[in-house]
Chains A and B, each alone.
Chain A
Amino acid sequence: GQQLNQSPQSMFIQEGEDVSMNCTSSSIFNTWLWYKQDPGEGPVLLIALYKAGELTSNGRLTAQFGITRKDSFLNISASIPSDVGIYFCAGLGRTSYDKVIFGPGTSLSVIP
């Protein structure tokens, strides 16, 4: 079936640094979503991408829909302590109208 891979699996960065993480698949996806999950909470949608090559920003966050439609990238600029959490990418392909496939997540720790 369709699977997503995320890298890195975890990262520890200094406050103020920029962060990059990515999500890849062997399958084509039509939509990419990026979620952040804080401990004990549900995932919160950060950015949604709908077109290959699309670059979208949300405050300090920027995400891109890869041109091959098999990958997506999330960048966080000038990290702050509240950026700590798990970042999940999620994709929707052509096989199911309602089914979102989640990647395994990237755990981000920010050192003040």
Chain B
Amino acid sequence: DTEVTQTPKHLVMGMTNKKSLKCEQHMGHRAMYWYKQKAKKPPELMFVYSYEKLSINESVPSRFSPECPNSSLLNLHLHALQPEDSALYLCASSRVGAYEQYFGPGTRLTVT
């Protein structure tokens, strides 16, 4: 199984809502990533987890809160977002120390 799954595929939320994005992989990877991607731009790294611990936070605003409850799951909790946070949110996974990251299909988030 070489698949990274993400739910939901699409999400529309108001600026006062709280929602969560979910990511799952069963490849035994112990590194997982959240990226944000705006239209026609490359993915921008947000967070990296290694062995279920946060290892990199790219100065992401606190309205984005990541969580890695176990080695297969990665969540991104969203609260009080702004319209400019609308984007495609991508999850990826890899073996720790490996360069090849495998991406999920993304969640298209719209903040109204």
Contacts and interface: CB of A to CB of B under 8 A. Distances in A.
A107 B33 CA distance: 25
A112 B41 CA distance: 26
B105 A104 contact: no
At the interface, is chain B mostly helix, strand, loop or mixed? strand
Contacts of B104: 42
B43 A99 contact: no
A104 B42 contact: yes
A48 B100 CA distance: 7
Nearest to A30: B99
Contact of A48 (B31, B56, B99, B108): B99
A65 interface: no
B99 A92 contact: yes
Interface string B93-109: 00001011111111010
Nearest to A50: B99
B21 interface: no
B48 A99 contact: yes
Contacts of A62: none
Contacts of B106: 40-42
A98 B90 contact: no
Interface in A75-112: 86, 88, 92, 96-100, 102-105, 107
Nearest to B9: A40
Contacts of A35: 103
Contact of B100 (A41, A42, A45): A45
Interface of B: 4, 31, 33, 40-43, 45, 48, 50, 55-56, 90, 92, 97, 99-106, 108
Interface of A: 31, 33, 35, 40-45, 48, 50, 86, 88, 92, 96-100, 102-105, 107
